[in-house]
A and B are shown apart, each in its own frame.
Chain A
Amino acid sequence: MSLKKLRDVVYTGLAYLSLLLLIIPLAWIIFECIIRGGYYIVSRPLEFFTDIGRPPGVEGGGIGHAIQGSLYMLGLALLIGVPTGMFAGIYLAERRNSPIAKAARFVSDILVEFPTILVGIVTYIFLASKVTGILATGPAAFAASLALALIMIPIVARSVEATFLTIPSEIREGAYALGFSSGQVIFRILLPAVKAGVVTAVLIGFAKIIGESAPVIVSNGISNFWFSKWTEPAPSIPVLIYVYGLSPFKEWQTQAWAASLFLLLLVMGVGFLARRLTKKLL
């Protein structure tokens, strides 16, 4: 075997090895979730998805309340985060050199790296703490939504910006040369041209916040009841996994595995959807 061939074989082998190293932990986690929690979902699917949790030691129950709470919390976070992140990203790309854009870019770079738990704490202190909160007097669901939105915004903004910067300048100039206003150039030409990238940016941001537990716990607290008010703690799937998983009760632990499996499939679903959408829109 020639040296060139040998090198080829070695590199190919290394590539496969690293692929394997990536797949093994993922497969292992999925496998573990299925073994420990899968049967619980299969044995009582309706109850699992729609019912509320049971006290320790009592058979049965589900994570319906956590799904509901997560829907509310993520819903509000998306409502705030998606438009803000998107517009910020467009601004960063289209007004590249303005002082505001430079400052915003600096801030969002810091925010992206910011420990998410700190975002939760800050939100809590300013909005919902008993002493200094301006909108509530204790841990509240809306504070968690806001924290999640804040976590999401810089990610979406920077990805949208990157997407817009891939548009060749000839396209932008071509649009202006046809007499379009900046609004028309951005929203009728550039945004449609990169919609796949923008959707992907939003889904990346969503995937980041869907499984967050720390900022939710510090700003929203922990709840085992149905969602009731924005100014009170609400349940959510990641927090339920955290609480149930660390509890000493076997029933809760099983449901934590089942909820983990559900969350995992959800995140993978979002990722899959993002890829499908990207392909379709391109």
Chain B
Amino acid sequence: MLDNVAVSVRDLRVSINNKEIIKGISIDFPRYAVTAIIGPSGSGKTMLLRSINRLVELIPDVKVSGKIWVRIGDELHDAYTLDPSYLRRKVGYVFQKPNPFPHLSILKNMTIGPMLNGIAKGKKNLERLAEEKLKEAGLWDEVKDRLNDAAWRLSGGQQQRLCIARALALEPEIILFDEPTTGLDLYNTKKIEELMVRLKEKYTVIAVTHSVDQAGRIADFIAFIYNGKLIEFGSAASVLKSPANELTELFITGRVLDGVKV
């Protein structure tokens, strides 16, 4: 059942300080595909993403209800009964702003995750894993001669790819991206978009973006979120070319949605 589903969300409601941000979303994210979550600022895209790996629980006074099932291996698990550490290892997260650990070297940024989580042991194994994942993220050639440099010396785009490689080093099954190309130049944006598409061979990719163009470039499926609700979900081609909902059409054609009630 649901063999091709990586994450299944059922009637998800998230409120902070009793203010409801996510107002009952149900959606199935397909496995080994890129799904883009689009929608205007403040629509709840990031909150939906953070609910999947329970990063949302770091917010004080947050309440989450509903169910989220996450595929790990061959089984779907209830995310909210799993150990959050284990869940977050299996569901990687890449932030809007690159956030390598500033006091650690490039190499240490790569090895600390597997080391503390007990995924690899010994300097040799950790370094081999780091090299493999840096290659996977397309960063190896740029950093192989400066692995012991502080991570903050890298450019913004390189830092972001380091963060992606760092998430890959935990051998996740699903990777969540929260507007990962914000503030990056075209070259780095392109590199990261290509990387996200490449990653779907081995992982399930769910990416929040406010750019419809970007969604068009990377996504197999698109979910449009507005005002805490899922308005439309379908294949990228159908959502972009013939949106079923009027709101979706307004959004993807760049018109104002402010004040529209749903």
Interface residues of A (CB under 8 A from B): 97, 168, 170-181, 184, 188-189, 192-193
What distance in Å separates the Cβ of B199 from its nearest Cβ neighbour in chain A? 17
Contact in complex: B88, A179 (CB < 8 Å): yes
Contact in complex: B58, A173 (CB < 8 Å): yes
> Bound complex: CA of A97 vs CA of B59, how far in Å?
11
B53, B55, B89, B102: the one within 8 Å of A193 (CB): B102
Contact in complex: A176, B102 (CB < 8 Å): no
> Bound complex: CA of A179 vs CA of B90, how far in Å?
9
Contact in complex: A168, B113 (CB < 8 Å): no
Contact in complex: A170, B166 (CB < 8 Å): no
Q: Which residues does chain A contribute within 8 Å of B101, judged by CB atoms?
A: 171, 174-175, 189, 193
Contact in complex: A178, B58 (CB < 8 Å): no
Contact in complex: B92, A177 (CB < 8 Å): yes
Contact in complex: A170, B97 (CB < 8 Å): yes
Contact in complex: A97, B85 (CB < 8 Å): no
Contact in complex: B85, A174 (CB < 8 Å): no
Report the 5 A-B pairs with minimum CB-CB distance, sorted nearest first.
Answer: A179-B89, A170-B99, A177-B93, A174-B99, A179-B88
Contacts of B22-76 to chain A: CB distance below 8 A: 53, 55, 58, 60
Q: Which residues does chain B contribute within 8 Å of A171, judged by CB atoms?
A: 99, 101-102
Q: Does B167 contact A (CB under 8 A)?
A: yes
A173, A178, A192: the one within 8 Å of B167 (CB): A178
> Bound complex: CA of A178 vs CA of B94, how far in Å?
10
Chain A to chain B contacts (Cβ below 8 Å), 12 pairs: A168-B99, A171-B99, A172-B58, A175-B101, A176-B58, A177-B53, A178-B113, A179-B170, A184-B116, A188-B116, A193-B101, A193-B103
What distance in Å separates the Cβ of B90 from its nearest Cβ neighbour in chain A? 8
Given A173-B55, A173-B58, decide whether A178 and B89 contact each other with a Cβ distance below 8 A. Answer: yes
Q: Which residues does chain A contribute within 8 Å of B53, judged by CB atoms?
A: 177
Number of interface residues of B (CB under 8 A): 28
> Bound complex: CA of A97 vs CA of B87, how far in Å?
26
Main SS class of interface, A: helix
Contact in complex: A174, B95 (CB < 8 Å): yes
A173, A179, A189: the one within 8 Å of B95 (CB): A173
Q: Which residues does chain B contribute within 8 Å of A170, judged by CB atoms?
A: 95, 97, 99
Contact in complex: A177, B55 (CB < 8 Å): yes
Q: Which residues does chain A contribute within 8 Å of B103, judged by CB atoms?
A: 192-193
> Bound complex: CA of A181 vs CA of B116, how far in Å?
9
What distance in Å separates the Cβ of B27 from its nearest Cβ neighbour in chain A? 21
> Bound complex: CA of A174 vs CA of B103, how far in Å?
14
Q: Does B5 contact A (CB under 8 A)?
A: no
Closest residue of chain A to B103 (Cβ to Cβ) is: A193
Q: Which residues does chain A contribute within 8 Å of B117, judged by CB atoms?
A: 178-180
Q: Which residues does chain A contribute within 8 Å of B164, judged by CB atoms?
A: none
Q: Which residues does chain A contribute within 8 Å of B167, judged by CB atoms?
A: 177-178
Q: Which residues does chain B contribute within 8 Å of A189, judged by CB atoms?
A: 101, 112
What distance in Å separates the Cβ of A215 from its nearest Cβ neighbour in chain B? 37
Q: Which residues does chain B contribute within 8 Å of A168, judged by CB atoms?
A: 99
> Bound complex: CA of A62 vs CA of B235, how far in Å?
87
> Bound complex: CA of A178 vs CA of B169, how far in Å?
10
> Bound complex: CA of A179 vs CA of B118, how far in Å?
11
What distance in Å separates the Cβ of A95 from its nearest Cβ neighbour in chain B? 10
> Bound complex: CA of A163 vs CA of B99, how far in Å?
18
What distance in Å separates the Cβ of A200 from its nearest Cβ neighbour in chain B? 15
Q: Which residues does chain B contribute within 8 Å of A177, judged by CB atoms?
A: 53, 55, 88, 92-93, 95, 167
A173, A180, A192: the one within 8 Å of B99 (CB): A173
> Bound complex: CA of A179 vs CA of B172, how far in Å?
11
Fill in one digit per residue for B97-140: 1 if any A CB lies within 8 Å of its CB, else 0. Answer: 10111111000000011001100000000000000000000000
What distance in Å separates the Cβ of B35 from its nearest Cβ neighbour in chain A? 19
> Bound complex: CA of A170 vs CA of B95, how far in Å?
8
> Bound complex: CA of A171 vs CA of B93, how far in Å?
13
What distance in Å separates the Cβ of B207 from its nearest Cβ neighbour in chain A? 15
Closest residue of chain B to A282 (Cβ to Cβ) is: B103
Contact in complex: B112, A174 (CB < 8 Å): no
Q: Which residues does chain B contribute within 8 Å of A176, judged by CB atoms?
A: 55, 58, 88
> Bound complex: CA of A170 vs CA of B102, how far in Å?
11
Closest residue of chain A to B172 (Cβ to Cβ) is: A179
Q: Which residues does chain A contribute within 8 Å of B170, judged by CB atoms?
A: 178-179
Q: Which residues does chain A contribute within 8 Å of B102, judged by CB atoms?
A: 171, 193
Q: Which residues does chain B contribute within 8 Å of A178, judged by CB atoms?
A: 88-89, 112-113, 116-117, 166-167, 170
What distance in Å separates the Cβ of B247 from its nearest Cβ neighbour in chain A? 31
Contact in complex: B163, A174 (CB < 8 Å): yes
Closest residue of chain A to B53 (Cβ to Cβ) is: A177
Closest residue of chain B to A178 (Cβ to Cβ) is: B113
Q: Which residues does chain A contribute within 8 Å of B112, judged by CB atoms?
A: 178, 188-189
Q: Which residues does chain B contribute within 8 Å of A97, judged by CB atoms?
A: 60
Interface centre among A172, A177, A188 (most CB of B within 10 A): A177
Q: Which residues does chain B contribute within 8 Å of A180, judged by CB atoms?
A: 85, 113, 116-117
